[in-house]
Amino acid sequence: MERRLFIKKASMLTTGVLAMSSLTSFTSPENENSNIDLVPFLASKRIELKGIIVDAKSGQVVINTSIKVKLNRNRFLATQRVIENNNGKYSIASGFTPNGKFSEKIEIEIKAPGYKTYKSQLLLSKNGCNVHSAEWDYNPDFKIEYLPENLISGEDVISQFNFRLVK
């Protein structure tokens, strides 16, 4: 009987720890600013993706955008954040636990009036951010110079990437 009680308590503790480390959306499901925080509870390595949302042809900053970010850390629960962006700047913070995955796929959807809806994936790893090949499906004029620039400093990685929306 004591063994069953111990197993029941241990499973409840494990479920709670997993929920806390993968569900950051309960703390603040929607932000009004341009920051999205997806950092796990026990992260040892942090990655931050920063940039602006610009027009693909003119390079002008696009304001009044809606950014939806979805991340599947485990097969049961997905983390999803939506922000309304008024200044064109954005920042997405994520991270990796010491014994967790070595890479993550983040699904990004950006909506702006007068532009095609941007849907793509960003691949985050301990070495920085990479774009998915769907980037060229959305914008055939996407150039190699537009790829994310990754700066590694100690345990943190800062990636600079500008989303280029097509009309």
CATH code of 36's domain: 2.60.40.1120
Provide the pLDDT for residue 98.
64
Number of domains, the chain? 1
Chain center to CA of 50? 11
- Characterize the bridge pairing of strands 78-85 and 89-96: unpaired
Domain that holds residue 13: 2-165
Task: List % helix, strand, coil for the chain (3-state, nearest 5).
Answer: 20, 45, 35
Block means of pLDDT (10 residues each) for the chain, 167 residues, are 73 60 42 64 75 86 85 68 80 74 80 88 83 81 85 84 87
| pTM to 2 decimal places | 0.69
Separation of alpha carbons 45 and 135, rounded Å: 26
